[in-house]
Amino acid sequence: MLAGVVFLLAGINGCMSEGVDNEAKLCLDRANRENALFRHAISTVLPADQVLSIDELNGCDSANNGAWLQVRLTPKLGEQDVWKRFQQAGWSADGAVDSDLRKQVGRRIIGVLIAAGREPGMTVEVTADDACWGDDGYSCD
């Protein structure tokens, strides 16, 4: 009897673990696709020779999910230069809620936050500025 209970508990735990693993993989897959979209959205605005680093981040290990990029720029680009580049590429503050500027890319709305970094140079955070990915998961497939 004890062996049966142990086996049953192990089976339940294994199923729960597999479900969590699948959920995490799905989240990471979506985060990778989101970050690829974000990279594409800024590729014409921020030339590679002006980018020091791009960190791809996600919230797949937390309750809020989501994905975003943190882009660190060379000190040559000042804050006004960065704003001007985005605005000339069609990014706008119109309707922006959680971002400084935003632009529709395909069916999605991408937003950017432009700020001075801790190190010399500007930092641009790129994320979705729509409601596709919220606390209840991803809704824009």
What's the rounded mean pLDDT across residues 110-119?
89
Q: How far is CA 53 from CA 10, 12, 34, in A?
A: 44, 43, 18
Q: What is the pTM (predicted TM-score) of this model?
A: 0.79
pLDDT band at 63 (very low <50, low <70, confident <90, very high): low
pLDDT (tens digit, 9 = 90+) per residue, 14-58? 433 455 588 888 889 989 999 999 999 999 999 899 999 999 999
pLDDT (tens digit, 9 = 90+) per residue, 89-99? 999 999 888 89
**Phi, psi angle pair for 51, to nearest 5°:** -105, 125
- For residue 75, give both structure tokens: 């000190």
DSSP 102-116: EEEETTEEEEEEEEE
Model confidence at 1: pLDDT above 60? no
